[in-house]
């Protein structure tokens, strides 16, 4: 029996019922197979109604290409500032504060929910400069360059209030270099450095500044030594 015939028999059974189907001479084997097919179809439709992967669609408007390019340029400028060890350029990418959620932070407790924290932009820049001072030859490269999702992901996908829309730029980056600089009192080891990460940046479309970062990344030997030194100072 082919799929088309099963579909027709499903419809027929639905119209006439099992008893009438028997009276009409539809074989019991066909009835069981068509009933099974019908139940499977119903189950699939039910799953589709509750499974977001079957029905996920954004109702937000598509981001204008020109706006997307400008948002990407902000994030690209941030990475350029790191690559060029330019504190002024890095600082220009932020407002007064930025929210950071470092998913892989060395200070995170195991199996704990990673909480976001607000950081003064000046401190953020200082930490970046501490890093590049330790790795003066650091070079930033991309597996995926800063890319704005063309579909605007709003904080509430059903909202029509543009003030509640959130515009995110994604980048999959990696950095290579050497721990060859003295930074934060830590003597260089000349150890090669190779780290990478994936970061989402929420960029304000009005001020063109980075408001929030969600980071998943690996760490350098200098960063691990820096954390250890901080922990020893606090103990």
Contact call for residues 10 and 40 (beta carbons, < 8 A): no
Whether domain 61-154+164-233 has CATH 3.40.190.80: no
Contacts of 82 (CB under 8 A, 6+ apart): 90, 128, 131, 132, 138, 140, 175
pLDDT digits (tens, 9 = 90+) for 76-103: 999 999 999 999 999 999 999 999 998 8
37-68 pLDDT, tens digit each: 445 444 444 444 454 444 444 444 567 889 99
Work out the pLDDT band at 104, boundaries 50, 70, 90.
Answer: confident
pLDDT at 130: 97
Residue scoring higher pLDDT (178 or 11) = 178
What is the crossing angle of helices 28-50 and 3-23, to 10°? 120
Which of 201, 181, 193 lies closest to 218 in space, CA to CA? 193
The tokens describing 9, both together, are 């028999």
Amino acid 231: pLDDT: 82
pLDDT in tens, 171-200: 999 999 999 999 999 999 999 999 999 999
All residues at 6 or more sequence positions from 200 whose CB lies less than 8 Å from its CB, including other chains: 168, 169, 170, 213, 214
Could you state, in order of their start, the residue ranges of all structural domains in the chain? 61-154+164-233
Tell me the pTM.
0.69
- The structure tokens listed for 112 are 């704990």
Task: Kindly give the residue spans of alpha helices, DSSP state H, lying in 51-183.
Answer: 52-55, 65-83, 87-91, 121-134
Residue 111 has a pLDDT of 52
């Amino acid at each position: 029996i082919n799929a088309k015939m099963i579909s027709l028999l499903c419809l027929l059974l639905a119209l006439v019922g099992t008893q009438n189907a028997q009276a009409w001479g539809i074989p019991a084997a066909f009835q069981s197979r068509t009933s099974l097919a019908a139940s499977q179809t119903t189950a699939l439709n039910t799953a589709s109604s509750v499974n977001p992967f079957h029905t996920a669609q954004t109702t937000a408007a598509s981001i204008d290409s020109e706006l997307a390019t400008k948002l990407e340029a902000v994030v690209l400028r941030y990475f350029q500032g790191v690559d060029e060890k330019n504190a002024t350029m890095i600082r220009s990418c932020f407002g007064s504060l930025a929210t950071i959620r470092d998913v892989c932070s060395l200070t995170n407790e195991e199996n704990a929910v990673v909480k976001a924290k607000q950081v003064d932009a000046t401190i953020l820049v200082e930490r970046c400069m501490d890093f590049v001072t330790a790795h003066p030859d650091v070079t930033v490269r991309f597996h995926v360059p800063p890319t704005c999702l063309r579909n605007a992901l709003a904080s509430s996908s059903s909202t029509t209030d543009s003030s509640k829309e959130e515009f995110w730029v994604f980048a999959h980056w990696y950095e290579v270099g050497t721990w060859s600089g003295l930074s934060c009192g830590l003597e260089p080891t000349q150890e090669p450095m190779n780290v990478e990460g994936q970061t989402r940046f929420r960029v304000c479309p009005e001020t063109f500044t980075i408001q929030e970062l969600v980071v998943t990344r690996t760490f350098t030997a200098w960063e691990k030594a820096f954390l250890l030194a901080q922990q020893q100072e606090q103990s």
